[in-house]
Amino acid sequence: MTTAPLPDLASAFNRADYEGYIFDCDGTLADSMPLHYRAWQESLAGKLGRPAVEFTEDLFYHFGGMPARTIVERLNHDYGYNLPPEKTALDKEADFIRLLPGVGPVPEVVAILKSLGPTAKVIVASGGLTDIVLATLKNIGLESGPGHIIKNVIGSDQVPRGKPHPDLFLQAAQFLGVAPARCLVFEDADPGFRAAEAAGMQFIDVRPYRATIHPAARY
């Protein structure tokens, strides 16, 4: 049995059509989602005094891109957890930082990022907290700021509303000085797709272009 070749991500878009490029972090540039889920499970088990069996891996991937505090609010509402959203989110992120050395890149997407070159208008806009996103990117060898391909990083703590609202992407476009219609978003989860659409941007779902990905992420 032969395996079909992966589609070519470089052929999925025409660079002449875009002036700005917006990349998600977790699941798009960084292969971090499995360890984020592990951090959630370990953190919630400690708070609940039992495994968080309701928070399945499938559900976790459906929440992909949402701010952690929003996920806690959803779990409180749907399963009666009654956890303080802000503190629970921060504690979970602290657990993730402990696991961060195990995170690697998504090579297919990082290759596209690097191919854009240092003069391209590129930014990372993530549902994670800015400091966590910066640490994740650094762990996979990506820096941001003047002189780097990634010009800036915007996390959910910098906007009023996270994904699926368009705030992150609109602020990213404003920073780049590019009209939303001329921005291309690289994403891996439904909340991010909806945020891009709400912002008036085109997007690419990177999941079909990944050679390795957790089965639950392919919903």
CA distances, 60 to each of 64, 191, 219 (Å)? 7, 12, 11
Residues 6+ apart with CB under 8 A from 3: none
Pairing of strands 20-23, 202-205: unpaired
CA separation for the pair 147, 74 (Å, rounded):
40
Examine the residue annotation and report whether 188 is marked as an active-site residue of this protein.
no
Residues 6+ apart with CB under 8 A from 208: 6, 7
Instruction: Burial-class residue 202 by CB neighbours within 10 Å (0-12, 13-18, 19+).
Output: middle
Q: Which two tokens stand for residue 123?
A: 């930014």
- Which residue out of 8, 17, 24, 31 is catalytically annotated? 24
Where in the sequence numbering do the catalytic residues fall?
A: 24
